[in-house]
Amino acid sequence: MMEWLALLMFICVCLVLLAGYPVAFSLAGTALIFAAIGVATGDLHPALLKSAFSRLFGIMQNPTLIAVPLFVFMGVMLEKAKIAEKLLTGMAGLFAGTPGGLAISVVLVGALLAASTGIVGATVVTMGLLSLPVMLKSNYSTPLSTGVICASGTLGQIIPPSIVLVLLGDVIASANRDAGIGGDPVSVGDLFAGAMLPGILLVVLYIIYIAIYARVKPDDAPAVAKGIKQLSELQENTSQSETMESSSAPASTNGFELSSLLLPLILILLVLGSILAGIATPSEAAALGAIGATLLAIYYREFSLERLKQVVRSTTKTSSMVFMILIGASIFSLVFRAFEGDDAIREILSGLPGGVFGAMVVVMLSMFLLGFILDFIEIVFVVVPLTAPALLAMGVDPIWLGIMIAVNLQTSFLTPPFGFALFYLRGVTPPDIATAEIYRGVLPFIFIQMAVLIIMAVWPEIVTWLPSIIYK
């Protein structure tokens, strides 16, 4: 009886989410309703609900989660201070005169923004507003332009330091404990190290595809000698009042500031390097990133009290959303396990044909489909805690599992017709661009990401090698 209540509870929460209700309240509300049903039928003891408070205090006392608002602050500050625009301007200068150079610049800047924000929506919207008008003016084909922007925006799922990996690392560590796996505990740093090679591989494959595309269809991806000038004009037109301030910023060289590339890159390397080297925890490194982003804004004379208010307000909204969903998911998970739903999932996965391979395929496919209707936060907090313990108990490597989930969700957010990245870009594209063109543009990048998933599945060492070297 209890297993059926758990299954019905999961179906109901999916229906409530599809109805458009807020995720956090849908999770908690559905859980409390089914808890009342369980108490009424005698399948659940009321005292069990008291443990929900200790779980919430555990969330509040988790030092890893302090990194979330700090990383969000870092990304929002880099965006509001127009450092992303300076990055794109500088990168375009490096590839000026190269066929497909503007698209390659978008991929590289998207990767850097992904490393600094870790939020798919923010990166896609920012890159869409900054680079799409310039690419279209430069006679780039619409499918290539939109596909490059969407694909580079989803890199925030996998390239560290990413909020997705911070949250996923904490959940995977908890799942590892629930599965009763001994050995060294899994950390966020392990996932950061494991994501490095797959993230670099994705960026390299994107660039190779663009280079081949530019060679086969040179008219669709022409060399742009004036890309820097156009980007600078776009940057100046964004806010005339702020242009007067930025005109007194450090002098430029060869049409772009070398510091616009080096300083943000140094900041990201310091944040990531301090974690991988074991010098700082993710929370300490995130604090370094937040301070560094603020100092960069001051250096570029883009800092003001009003801008700080905007950054703090945006950080508070995003962080509140994350933690409210975490609280709702915690209550949902508590009731679901009280109905022995986790045991039912473990039995289902272990009984699938193909053993570990069959279980992984089913879980990955389920998460891929859920990625059409749920954001990564809901999947990380709801689906991963329910499925990961069973997979880990079957012998799956926790670091490899975490990176497979991250790349899988990245592919899901890019896949038509429901991919979140497509909706984000659609919201900032001109009305004359057909949605079908956006869909057509992302297809090659979807195949690239699927290829990387297959490579990771066949050669898990791509994920596990670097963590084994760094944390040996």
pLDDT in tens, 234-257: 445 544 444 444 444 444 444 445
List residues bridging with 253 in a β-sheet.
256
With the C-alpha atoms ordered 359, 362, 364, 366, is the resulting torsion angle positive or negative? negative
CA distances from 151 to 16, 170, 234, 258, 371 (A): 30, 26, 22, 26, 16
DSSP 179-206: TT--SSPP-HHHHHHHHHHHHHHHHHHH
CB proximity list for 312: less than 8 A, separation 6 or greater: 73
| 443, two tokens | 């297809």
Mean pLDDT value across residues 132-151: 87
pLDDT, greater one: 228 or 211:
211
**High-pLDDT (> 90) share of the chain, %:** 12
With the C-alpha atoms ordered 470, 286, 131, 408, is the resulting torsion angle positive or negative? positive
Interaxial angle between packed helices 341-350 and 2-18, expressed in degrees from 0 to 180 and rounded to the nearest 10: 90
Helix (H) or strand (E) holding 403: helix 398-412
| The pLDDT value given to residue 294 | 92
Say if residue 26's pLDDT is above 90. no
Say if residue 318's pLDDT is above 60. yes
Q: Return contacts of 363-371, CB within 8 angstroms, 24+ apart.
A: 363/387, 363/391, 364/404, 364/405, 364/408, 364/453, 367/405, 367/408, 367/409, 367/412, 368/408, 368/409, 368/411, 368/412, 368/415, 369/412, 370/412, 371/408, 371/409, 371/412, 371/413, 371/415, 371/419, 371/420
Decide: pTM greater than 0.85.
no
| The pLDDT value given to residue 422 | 82
Q: Where are the alpha helices (DSSP H) in 22-82?
A: 23-41, 51-60, 67-80
Count the Cβ atoms, other than its own, within 10 Å of residue 422.
22
Q: Count each helix (H run) and each strand (E run) in the chain, helices first.
A: 23, 0
In angstroms, the CA 431 to CA 297 distance is: 34
| 42, two tokens | 């005698």
Dihedral angle, C-alpha 6, 8, 14, 20, nearest 10 °: -120
Say if residue 174's pLDDT is above 70. yes
In angstroms, the CA 151 to CA 407 distance is: 12
CA distances from 237 to 39, 100, 189, 300, 326 (A): 62, 25, 41, 17, 40
| The pLDDT value given to residue 182 | 57
In angstroms, the CA 369 to CA 371 distance is: 5
| 362, two tokens | 């089913």
**Greatest Cα pair distance in the chain:** 75
pLDDT, greater one: 228 or 111:
111
